[in-house]
Amino acid sequence: MLKHVVLAKIVEHLNLKPAPWSYLDTHAGVGMYDLTGEEADKTGEWRNGVGRIRDRALGAEAEALLAPWRDAMAGVKPDAYPGSPEIVRRLARAGDRLRLCEKHPKDAEALARNFGRDRRVKAVEIDGWTALNAWLPPPERRGLVLIDPPFEEPGEFGRMAERFRKALAVWPTGTYALWYPVKDPADADALAERVTAAGVPKLVRLELLVRASGDPKLLVGSGMLVANPPWRLADEFQAAAADLAAALAQGEGARATAKILANA
């Protein structure tokens, strides 16, 4: 929920100007997910995320934050859920361009099949870390990079920070959204410190925890570091924080926070 709501909000901001923009998704997945499928039914994670928000009205500030995401969800069947690429595609305009990376062959095949008829979209079987180095800056000179690896390999926090630093050096004016899971808060803090040290002039940290942290092996929420964010993103998220945390809480200590880490 956090990733997709923030992603849609950033795209809304990009659409305020007529010039086309580019979107690069480093770990795109398949683009659309069947909520009745075996994997979704096995974990049931969606029931405590989109399942709680999809048909529920929150307060005015939360609904203002959710509005672009709800626009992207319009027309999606109840038994399906769009991933990040599909959410962006549904909000993109005729001249905007999406580049989607997926290194797992079966997922890459499904991704290409789901997006193959849209001329705005290029889906490629490639390691997103490789594409991040090779495909920036985009010809459009404005746009968004979503970096959200599955965090299945050791050292992913450090790899994300280092690859972001290199990407920023090549394209310092782009908007970057770095998603991360929150298990051990120390890992998230270290990532924020390394990303801040990369020298990005504007940086916000958004987190949504569904319970208090305790066991460092237990997922308690997720966060996003947004470099060169929309100028009111932190304020809008903070205004919606209490409603979001209450709606998605799974235990004591649920909270949502927005912090400005850099504002040069």
What are the structure tokens assigned to 158, written together?
Answer: 């450090």
260 backbone dihedrals φ, ψ, rounded to 5° = -90, 115
CA distances from 117 to 28, 121, 208, 248 (A): 17, 8, 35, 36
Report the half-sphere exposure of 194 (CA within 13 A, side-chain side): 18
If one counts every other C-beta atom within 10 angstroms of the C-beta of residue 67, the result is: 14
Q: How far apart are CA 181 and CA 184, in angstroms?
A: 9
What are the structure tokens assigned to 127, written together?
Answer: 């390691």
Q: At 9, which amino acid appears?
A: K
Confirm whether 184 is a catalytic residue.
Answer: no
Catalytic position from the list 148, 184, 215, 243: 148
Residues serving a catalytic function are 148
